Amino acid sequence: MTPHAKRETNSATGKDPWARFGWLMAVIWLVFLVYPVIALLRSEAPPAWVIVGWVALVAFIVLYVTGFMHGMRGGGGLGRTPSTRQWITFAALILCALLSVPAEGGSALSFLPFVMSFASYGLTRAWHWITTIAAVVVTALCVFLLPGGISYLSILAIVALLGVVNTVSTWLILRSAEAERLGLELATSEGREAVARDVHDLIGHSLTVVGLKAQLVRRLMDSDPERAKAELADIERLTAEAIAGVRSTVAGARVTTLVEQLASSRDSFRAADIEMQVEGEPSALSPVQAITASWILREATTNTLRHARAQTVRVLLLPGRLVVEDDGVGIGAAEGNGIRGMRERAAAAGAAFALGATEDAGTRVEVTW
């Protein structure tokens, strides 16, 4: 029945309103069982069969409503494995319909739409087709083979129409659930990639700087012990910051300001004896742009320290624009994870990313919003 189409995938939690109050719609749809009621009231069958018919009708109503509620609250169906209770309820519904035939005659066909809908929304896709085809065939045989069966032609039309409605409706629900599942998987994958990228940027940059400072300390141990101690203190600070950065990134709370990153990059270049020139002010970028710019500057700093063998780095800050240039050996043959990460960050921020060579064969990184 159409109320089943309202069922959401989170109904199993019991907090979904349809899981809690959907049975009201099931009760409303039971108004169509008025035809078996009328047939029982007018029945000329033996009283025993009439009593059986009334008992079967009441049992059918109870089974249908409780089965409906059970399915809405996680009993299965629509892509989920039906519980044993659902199968037992389905069999009992068919039995009740059969027991009502001696007293109701052809009016017992009115039970079929309910059985069809229970199979479509509460069982498997295969049983949707089995039940739908069986209901259409049985109704058609009664209409065209039984004496006076033409009077049940309207029931045949309802059964056929409901078969189409249930088929389309359940297909749309299953497609929607599949799309939601794929969307969740994609969001999870993108979230993992974002965390991996953040951790890569943080660890890669921090370890690069720590390595440079460790080399500097080794050179200064004998000639300048005091500066060596200061560099060791910086190594300790950088290590603590990296650990804190990884933790906050995993927690989704890592935010590095552009001002902080400029200071960090300057300190890192100083340790590698690279001059850093900054033109413009961080305020030239909006707060949102500055977050992306800080990450890209961090990765550009790491790449320069690792690969460029540069003497000078120039950082240009303009409204909606970040440029990082060095006078090193230029771009390598293949792009690594760092460059791919910068492209992804720029794209996610709605910015254009450009990587090229400078006039003196160095490397130029440009991000434009």
Give which of 321, 334, 318, 329 is closest to 365, Cα–Cα.
321
Whether residue 144 is contained in a domain is answered as yes
Of 8 and 68, more confident: 68
Whether residue 194 is contained in a domain is answered as no
155, 184, 213 - which closes a domain:
184
Are the C-beta atoms of 228 and 220 separated by less than 8 Å? Answer: yes
Report percent pLDDT > 70 for the chain. Answer: 79
Same domain, 161 and 267: no
Same domain, 269 and 367: yes
Q: Residue 273: what are its φ and ψ, rounded to 5°?
A: 60, 40
Same domain, 177 and 264: no
Whether residue 319 is contained in a domain is answered as yes
The answer, as to whether pTM is greater than 0.85, is no
Most confident of 181-185, 298-302, 365-369: 365-369
| pLDDT tens column, 11-59 | 433 444 445 555 566 667 777 788 888 889 988 889 999 999 999 999 9
Same domain, 177 and 68: yes
Same domain, 7 and 142: yes
Same domain, 291 and 163: no
184, 212, 242 - which closes a domain:
184
Same domain, 148 and 264: no
Instruction: Identify the CATH number of the domain in which residue 271 sits.
Output: 3.30.565.10
User: Residue 318: which domain range?
Assistant: 258-369
154, 184, 214 - which closes a domain:
184
What integer pLDDT is reported at residue 318 of this predicted model? 92
Same domain, 169 and 264: no
Same domain, 263 and 129: no
Are the C-beta atoms of 96 and 60 separated by less than 8 Å? Answer: yes
Whether residue 190 is contained in a domain is answered as no
Same domain, 8 and 139: yes
Same domain, 262 and 180: no
First to last CA, the chain: 52
Number of domains the chain contains: 2
In this prediction, residue 255 has a pLDDT band, given cuts at 50, 70 and 90, of low
| Weakest-pLDDT range from 64-68, 87-91, 92-96, 181-185 | 181-185
Whether residue 222 is contained in a domain is answered as no
Whether residue 233 is contained in a domain is answered as no
What integer pLDDT is reported at residue 306 of this predicted model? 82
β-pair partners for 355? 365
Residue 354: its H or E element: strand 352-357
Whether residue 232 is contained in a domain is answered as no
β-pair partners for 126? none
Where do we find the tokens 């303009």?
Answer: 318
Whether residue 249 is contained in a domain is answered as no
Burial letters for 8-21: b for 16+ Cβ neighbours within 10 Å, e otherwise? beebeeeebebbee
Same domain, 178 and 293: no
| pLDDT tens column, 276-314 | 999 999 988 888 788 889 888 988 888 888 888 889 999
